[in-house]
Amino acid sequence: MSNILEVRGLKVMYGKSIAIHDINISVPEGGIVTLIGSNGAGKSTTLNACLGTVPATEGKILFAGEDITHASTAERVRRGLVLAPEGRHLFPYLSVQKNLLLGATQRSDKEGIQRDMEFCFELFPILKDRLKQKAGTMSGGQQQMLAIARGIMANPKLLCLDEPSLGLAPAVIDDIGNKIREINQSKGTSILLVEQNVHLAFGAASYCYTLQVGEMVAEGSVEEIRNNDVVKKAYFGG
Ligand SMILES: Nc1ncnc2c1ncn2[C@@H]1O[C@H](COP(=O)(O)OP(=O)(O)OP(=O)(O)O)[C@@H](O)[C@H]1O
Ligand SMILES: [Mg+2]
């Protein structure tokens, strides 16, 4: 099976401080992979380097077999590498509908855009009911659904999600996990899920990478990682 994303030997520095180093990640085509780690571990930095919003100091990023290490963010999005960023980054004063359409700005296939809009409404019916509502007045959970839907509107081959569980109630988090699997299954979209919530991460993904202060400390199938001593200690109190 070929990989949609390959991160090789990635290092990112902010000024003189090293945020992440020697990071290797593979996401197989059609797979769901999770990257877990606590606050400041370097999860968002890794995703942002994949998207090109922070520069890679060292290393390579391959997308669908091609080297995109030096491509612009817009070019990466056009190729199908899409991020639903942490903290949602919606346009709060624009309607749900406008936010969704802004996800599709790199596209010109009108029928495809319409079809994906319908898919988003099937996935998250609340968005259809609230099309004209300003995004900033939606609840936290609804905004998270909108952020994921906006990612879908970009027609991703790989959808990267940065902590979709942030600030959500447990019942809503379970629902988000189900929706992530549904996107993967019905559209074949590969998913790279960054999470601190291991319940969501392990429920949705089949393979897991674990970051600790900028270093990859464990990787393996979700079953393996569940039983990994380092991970058990960090997340389940030993
Ligand atoms: N723009 C920046 N300038 C300087 N340092 C930064 C910048 N962004 C992140 N960092 C630092 O890099 C490290 C990794 O941060 P990052 O945001 O990637 O962590 P994270 O794993 O996403 O954490 P969280 O779970 O809290 O979102 C932290 O020490 C952070 O302070
Ligand atoms: Mg983060």
Asked if residue 118 belongs to a domain, the reply is: no
Asked if residue 121 belongs to a domain, the reply is: no
Put residue 9 in one of left, alpha, beta given phi > 0 → left and psi -120 to 50 → alpha.
left
User: Which ligand has an atom closest to residue 211 CA?
Assistant: 1
CATH of the domain at 199: 3.40.50.300
What residues are paired with 195 via a beta bridge? 36
The reply to whether ligand 1 has any atom less than 6 angstroms from the CB of 108 is: no
Domains identified in the chain, total number: 1
Residues 167-187: tens digit of each pLDDT: 888 888 988 999 999 999 999
Between CA 142 and CA 82 the distance in angstroms is 20
Residues 11-64: tens digit of each pLDDT: 999 999 999 999 999 999 999 999 999 999 999 999 999 999 999 999 999 999
Q: Is the pLDDT of residue 127 over 60?
A: yes
pLDDT level of residue 86 (50, 70, 90 thresholds): confident
Asked if residue 171 belongs to a domain, the reply is: yes
Asked if residue 137 belongs to a domain, the reply is: no
Q: What's the burial of 211, exposed, middle or buried (CB within 10 Å: 0-12/13-18/19+)?
A: buried
Asked if residue 97 belongs to a domain, the reply is: no
Asked if residue 146 belongs to a domain, the reply is: no
Q: Is the pLDDT of residue 88 over 90?
A: no
User: Which ligand has an atom closest to residue 38 CA?
Assistant: 1
Give the structural domain span for 82.
3-86+151-236
pLDDT level of residue 231 (50, 70, 90 thresholds): confident
Whether pTM > 0.85 for this model: the answer is yes
Structure tokens at 87: 């903290």
Give, for ligand 1, the residue of 45, 88, 192, 194 to mutate: max count of ligand atoms closer than 8 Å to Cβ: 45
Structure tokens at 70: 């030096």
Query: Residue 150 — φ and ψ, nearest 5°?
Result: -60, -35
pLDDT level of residue 114 (50, 70, 90 thresholds): very high
Residue 171: its pLDDT value, please?
85
